[in-house]
């Protein structure tokens, strides 16, 4: 029995299978949702693509993954990076970033990670944290102003994200410098 098919890709149903990777991806998504989504849409989209790739690899009837042979230029990578920096205040999405170089979200994720060593989500978070550190160091903006300038929906989400990546709160970071 086939429960889904798209362009010759079939997912075969499995009964009583405990797949740890699916469990971990699901738990990561659950934790993110319960925390109020401090990492943004890009993280959820990245988890969805990871889940889809795993399902195709593990449970596809054809056992064939989507081929990946994209060789885009350094100029195109620079365009994506510049777009990310210029739009850190926005809720960036994989579809949006992938469309800059006319790719699917799946192919874009693989291409970006291969070239940058980080997933698009990880890279955007790194950029947001670096901008936040700069703003905390060299401006007198309030924490909520900085949160909004780095794409966080609230000061609480900003504090959670900052603490997760730096180990201390933004306020403590500012007081240290």
Give the model confidence (pLDDT) of 75-130 as tens digits.
999 999 999 999 999 999 999 999 999 998 988 998 999 999 999 999 999 999 99
Mean pLDDT computed over 145-174: 96
More confident residue, 53 or 74: 74
Q: Look up the pTM and report it.
A: 0.70
Mean pLDDT computed over 155-176: 96
Give the integer Cα–Cα distance in Å for 63 and 56: 7
Q: What is the pLDDT of residue 3?
A: 36
C-alpha separations of 69 from 59, 97, 103, 128, 129 in Å: 23, 18, 12, 30, 32
Give the integer Cα–Cα distance in Å for 11 and 58: 9
Q: Is the pLDDT of residue 12 over 80?
A: no
Which of 95, 84, 157, 74 lies closest to 122 in space, CA to CA? 84
HEC secondary structure over 108-140: HHHHHHHHHCCCHHHHHHHHHHHHHHHHHHHCC
- Domains in the chain, CATH or no CATH each: 124-176 (1.10.10.60)
Q: Which residues touch 131 (CB under 8 Å, ≥6 apart)?
A: 88, 149, 150
Q: Is the pLDDT of residue 4 over 70?
A: no
- Lowest pLDDT segment from 12-21, 91-100, 141-150, 167-176: 12-21
DSSP 60: B
15-63 pLDDT, tens digit per residue, is: 777 778 777 777 877 887 787 777 777 777 777 777 766 676 777 666 5
Give the integer Cα–Cα distance in Å for 33 and 14: 27
Q: What is the pLDDT of residue 8?
A: 62
Count of C-beta atoms within a 10 Å radius of residue 78? 10
């Amino acid at each position: 029995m086939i429960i889904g098919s798209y362009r010759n890709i079939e997912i075969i149903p499995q009964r009583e299978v405990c797949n740890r990777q699916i469990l971990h991806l699901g738990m990561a998504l659950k934790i993110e949702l319960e925390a109020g989504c401090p990492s943004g849409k890009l993280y959820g989209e990245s988890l969805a693509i990871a889940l889809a790739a795993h399902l195709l690899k593990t449970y596809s009837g054809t056992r064939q993954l989507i081929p990946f042979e994209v060789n885009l230029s350094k100029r195109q990578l620079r365009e994506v990076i510049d777009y990310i920096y210029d739009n850190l205040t926005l809720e960036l999405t994989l579809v949006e970033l992938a469309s800059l170089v006319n790719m699917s979200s799946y192919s874009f994720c693989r291409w970006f990670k291969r070239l940058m060593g980080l997933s698009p989500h990880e890279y955007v978070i790194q950029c947001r944290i670096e901008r936040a550190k700069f703003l905390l160091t060299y401006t007198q903006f309030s924490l909520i102003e900085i949160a909004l300038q780095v794409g966080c929906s609230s000061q609480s989400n900003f504090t959670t994200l900052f603490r997760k990546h730096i180990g201390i709160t933004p306020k403590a970071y500012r007081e240290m410098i």
